[in-house]
C-alpha cells in the first residue's frame, strides 16, 4: 500500500490489498475491502456511512468491497454496502449510494450517480452524467451514453419504485429517459432524447417521445462498409474480451 501523502484517513478495520495506491485527502471508512493493485485517487470517500450512522449509537458500517485492478478517480464517493468487481474504471465526481452490485470490467463516467440497490453487469459502460435509479438492472455489455436517466417513481412522490431493466448489448443514446419498470431487451437501440414508456423487444430500434418502434436494429447499415452494423460486437472490440478476434469465435469458446 502506498499513500501519496500523509493526509489519508484509513480505518483500522479496512483491508487493503497489495500495491494499492491511495491519493491525497482520501477517507477509507470501516469495513472496506480494496483488492490488489487498485488506485484510489485524491479526495475520495470509500465506504461512506449510511444515514443510520448519524442517529444510531450502535451503528456498524456495512462491508464495502472494491475489487482488484480498479481505478477510482478523484472526488468520487462510494457509500458503504456496495460490491464492485475487478477492473472498474471511474471518471471524476461519481456518487455510488448503498447496496449496488457492479460487475467486472465496467466503467462509470464523470458525475454519474447510482442511487442504490441497482445491479450493473460486466463490461457495462455508463458514460458521464448518467443517473441510475434504485432497483435498476443493467445487463452485461450494455452502453448508456451521457445524460441518460433511469427513473423508478411510478406515482411520484410515492413508495412504489420499479427500476427499469436494460438488456445485454443494448445501446441507450444520449439524453434518453427510461420510465419506471420498462424492460428493454437484448441488442436494442434507444435513440437520442427518447422517452421509453413501455417494454422494447430484443433487436428493436425505438426513437422519439414517447419512443416508437422504428424496426429491426439489424437493418441499420454501417457507414464504413454499407453492410449491417448491428449487433455491434461483430464490428467493435475495443476493451472487450473478444478484442483482436472474431466475436462469434470468442462466443463459441465461452459456450464450450
Q: How many CB atoms lie within 10 A of CB 245?
A: 12
pTM for this prediction:
0.94
Same domain, 51 and 164: yes
Same domain, 131 and 252: no
Percent helix, strand and coil across the chain, each to the nearest 5: 5, 30, 65
* pLDDT confidence of residue 224: 86
Domain that holds residue 55: 2-228
Same domain, 220 and 234: no
Same domain, 252 and 220: no
Same domain, 165 and 235: no
Same domain, 224 and 243: no
Same domain, 209 and 237: no
Task: Supply φ then ψ for residue 127, to 5 degrees.
Answer: -85, -170
Same domain, 20 and 112: yes
CB 148, CB 131: distance < 8 Å: yes
* pLDDT confidence of residue 3: 60
Same domain, 150 and 176: yes
Same domain, 130 and 63: yes
The CATH number given to whatever domain includes residue 118 is 2.160.10.10
Same domain, 210 and 221: yes
Show the cell assigned to 8: 489519508
Rounded Cα gap, residues 179 and 196, in angstroms: 6
* pLDDT confidence of residue 162: 97
Q: How many domains does the chain have?
A: 2
Same domain, 84 and 200: yes
Show the cell assigned to 161: 419504485
Q: Are strands 15-16 and 32-34 parallel, antiparallel or unpaired?
A: parallel
Tens-binned pLDDT, residue by residue, of the chain (256 aa): 656 556 899 999 999 999 999 999 999 999 999 999 999 999 999 999 999 999 999 999 999 999 999 999 999 999 999 999 999 999 999 999 999 999 999 999 999 999 999 999 999 999 999 999 999 999 999 999 999 999 999 999 999 999 999 999 999 999 999 999 999 999 999 999 999 999 999 999 999 999 999 999 999 999 888 899 999 999 999 999 999 999 999 988 887 7
Amino acid at each position: 500500500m502506498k499513500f501519496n501523502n500523509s493526509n489519508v484517513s484509513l480505518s483500522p478495520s479496512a483491508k487493503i490489498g497489495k500495491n494499492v495506491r491511495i491519493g491525497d485527502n482520501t477517507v477509507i471508512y470501516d469495513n472496506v475491502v480494496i483488492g490488489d493493485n487498485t488506485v484510489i485517487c485524491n479526495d475520495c470517500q470509500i465506504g461512506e456511512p449510511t444515514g443510520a450512522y448519524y442517529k444510531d449509537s450502535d451503528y456498524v458500517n456495512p462491508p464495502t468491497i472494491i475489487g482488484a485492478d480498479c481505478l477510482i478517480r478523484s472526488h468520487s464517493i462510494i457509500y458503504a454496502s456496495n460490491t464492485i468487481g475487478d477492473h472498474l474504471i471511474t471518471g471524476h465526481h461519481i456518487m455510488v449510494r448503498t447496496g449496488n452490485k457492479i460487475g467486472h470490467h465496467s466503467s462509470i463516467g464523470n458525475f454519474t450517480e447510482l442511487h442504490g440497490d441497482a445491479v450493473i453487469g460486466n463490461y457495462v459502460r455508463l458514460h458521464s452524467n448518467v443517473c441510475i435509479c434504485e432497483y435498476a438492472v443493467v445487463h452485461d455489455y450494455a452502453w448508456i451514453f451521457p445524460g441518460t436517466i433511469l427513473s423508478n417513481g411510478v406515482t411520484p412522490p410515492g413508495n412504489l419504485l420499479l427500476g427499469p431493466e436494460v438488456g445485454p448489448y443494448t445501446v441507450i443514446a444520449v439524453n434518453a429517459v427510461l420510465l419506471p419498470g420498462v424492460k428493454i431487451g437484448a441488442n436494442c437501440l434507444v435513440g437520442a432524447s427518447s422517452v421509453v414508456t413501455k417494454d422494447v423487444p430484443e433487436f428493436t430500434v425505438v426513437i422519439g417521445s414517447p419512443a416508437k418502434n422504428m424496426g429491426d436494429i439489424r437493418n441499420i447499415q454501417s457507414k464504413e462498409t454499407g453492410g449491417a452494423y448491428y449487433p455491434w460486437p461483430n464490428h467493435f472490440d475495443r476493451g472487450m474480451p473478444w478484442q483482436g478476434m472474431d466475436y462469434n469465435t470468442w462466443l463459441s469458446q465461452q459456450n464450450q
